[in-house]
């Protein structure tokens, strides 16, 4: 008996069925952070600086002591100026005159809230203790919330606020001038 030879073409081989390509969704873009959204917004630097100025001013106002008031206000005002200046600098895309003006105004507002709230709270708190000890109806005097309202009602024009505002403007605008620095400011457009 002769062995049968089979040719490879004689036996059909099953064709591999193409597998559908696994559709992988494109990688999800992470949503930008809060600071990223503030940087992309035109008014983000103003909002961020204003929040830092008011919150830090209100929080630091409780640190204003009864004695050695000048040294405490200088140190707290410099801290406020640095915080607002660096916030506006970080959130701004350019360091032009508009950025410096923003830092100046916001720091003046924050330092005014800090100083006025701290001093009114200390001074009125001391005056309120006198009628309270005499049996009057005032008790312990005005509190921190009334001092904050007084700070918001009084105009923010003081030398300390202006000096701290200038320091924040210097911080916000510090850096070498690049090419085309005149075009980076909206005032020249």
pTM: 0.65
Residue 88 lies in a domain: yes
Long-range contacts of 180-189 (CB under 8 A, 24+ apart): 181/96, 184/94, 184/95, 184/96, 185/94, 185/96, 185/97, 185/98, 186/96, 186/98, 187/96, 187/97, 187/98
The residue range of the domain holding 76 is 36-174
Residue 16 lies in a domain: no
Q: Is the dihedral of CA 116, 120, 123, 125 positive or negative?
A: negative
Instruction: Report the C-alpha gap between 161 and 150 in whole angstroms.
Output: 16
End-to-end CA separation in angstroms for the chain: 101
Residue 163 lies in a domain: yes
Domain count, the chain: 1
Residue 133 lies in a domain: yes
Residue 49 lies in a domain: yes
Which is nearest to 89 in space by CA: 146, 44, 138?
44
Sole residue written with tokens 């100026």: 81
Residue 93 lies in a domain: yes
Q: Per-residue pLDDT for the chain (189 aa), expressed as one digit of tens each?
A: 566 665 656 566 667 676 666 677 777 788 888 888 888 888 888 989 999 999 998 888 888 887 777 888 888 999 999 999 999 999 998 888 889 999 999 999 999 888 888 888 776 655 545 554 544 444 444 677 888 888 888 887 788 888 888 888 988 888 776 654 444 445 444
CB 60 within 8 A of CB 116: no
Residue 121 lies in a domain: yes
């Amino acid at each position: 008996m002769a062995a049968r030879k089979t040719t490879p073409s004689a036996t059909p081989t099953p064709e591999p069925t193409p597998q559908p390509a696994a559709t992988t969704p494109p990688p999800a873009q992470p949503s930008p952070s809060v600071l990223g959204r503030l940087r992309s917004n035109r008014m983000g630097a103003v909002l961020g600086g204003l929040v830092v100025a008011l919150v830090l001013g209100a929080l630091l106002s409780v640190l204003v002591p009864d004695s050695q008031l000048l040294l405490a206000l200088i140190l707290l005002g410099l801290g406020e100026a640095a915080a607002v200046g660096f916030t506006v600098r970080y959130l701004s895309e350019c360091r032009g005159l508009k950025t410096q003006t923003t830092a100046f105004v916001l720091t003046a507002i924050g330092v005014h809230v800090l100083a006025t709230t701290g001093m009114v709270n200390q001074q009125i708190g001391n005056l309120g203790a006198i009628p309270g000890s005499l049996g009057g109806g005032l008790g312990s005097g005005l509190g921190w919330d009334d001092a904050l309202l007084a700070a918001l009602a009084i105009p923010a024009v003081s030398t300390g606020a202006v000096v701290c505002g200038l320091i924040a403007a210097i911080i916000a605008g510090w850096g070498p001038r690049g090419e085309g620095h005149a075009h980076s400011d909206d005032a020249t457009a």
